Amino acid sequence: MAAFYVLPSRHLLGQRFSEILTSLFPGTQYSPWDWPDLAGSVAALIEAQADAHVVYREDIDEKLSVKDALLRDFGAALDDEIIEIHFGPGLTQFMHERWATEPLRIAA
């Protein structure tokens, strides 16, 4: 079973990582031009994990549900787990919304 992580846009994700890095490493700065690269770097680390896939919200067809878009456009299977991440107002505030697309039924 694979895990599909649905993240905010590259821009928003990179901005959040920029804020975290700036708070950890005083004196460092990241411009909005750096934000997509920051998001891509972290996504590459996640995707290096077995059966982990990162999908950015801006890449999902707005006419479809997240589940349907992942099934149609990103190769998700019916029993894959979907983890959608939403940011809260604070730097380290976020929410995970987890679900499996559907339980896999085994024929008897």
69-86 tens-digit pLDDT: 999 999 999 889 999 999
The pLDDT of residue 108 is above 60: no
Interior angle at CA 18, CA 12 and CA 19, nearest 5: 95
Q: Is the pTM of this model over 0.95?
A: no
Q: Over the stretch 3-60, which tens digit does the pLDDT of each residue have?
A: 999 999 999 999 999 999 999 999 999 999 999 999 999 999 999 988 999 999 999 9
Q: 68: pLDDT confidence band, cut at 50, 70 and 90?
A: very high
| Residue bearing tokens 């456009």 | 73
Asked if 18 contacts 34 with a C-beta cutoff of 8 angstroms, the reply is: yes
What is the rounded CA–CA span in Å between residue 8 and residue 80? 20
Q: Kindly state the tokens that stand for 84.
A: 């959608």
Other Cβ atoms within 10 Å of 86 Cβ, number: 13
